[in-house]
Amino acid sequence: MTENEIKLKAIAALTALRSGVGTDYVSDLLGEVVPEHFVVSAAAGPREVGLSVLGQLSQPLSALITGFVLAFQAVADAYDESVPATPTEEILQALALELAREPD
């Protein structure tokens, strides 16, 4: 799967959630970006196996995060252009404060 296809999966997942599609569907959609198989040398030790798997996971997960960020930025820009009473930055700050107050 290409990086652009993974970004599109992120946008599709957000769109599906906002449209009321079930979370199982969204989980399946996002799960498609995780490789089904990992290529690891048969002679690799535990450290090399871990690093290899991590390396093969990092690209699709990075593309997925980039897709979420791009989608958020587009929505935030459109929202802020409507001259809202509360700018996006204030909403994010309030959310961060709320999360910081919650126990883990």
pLDDT in tens, 50-101: 999 999 999 999 999 999 999 999 999 999 999 889 999 999 999 999 999 9
The Cα 33–Cα 4 span in angstroms is 11
pTM of structure: 0.83
**Residue with the two structure tokens 């958020």:** 72
pLDDT in tens, 23-59: 999 999 999 999 999 999 999 999 999 999 999 999 9
CA distances from 74 to 9, 31, 45 (A): 16, 24, 44
Tokens of 30: 């996002």
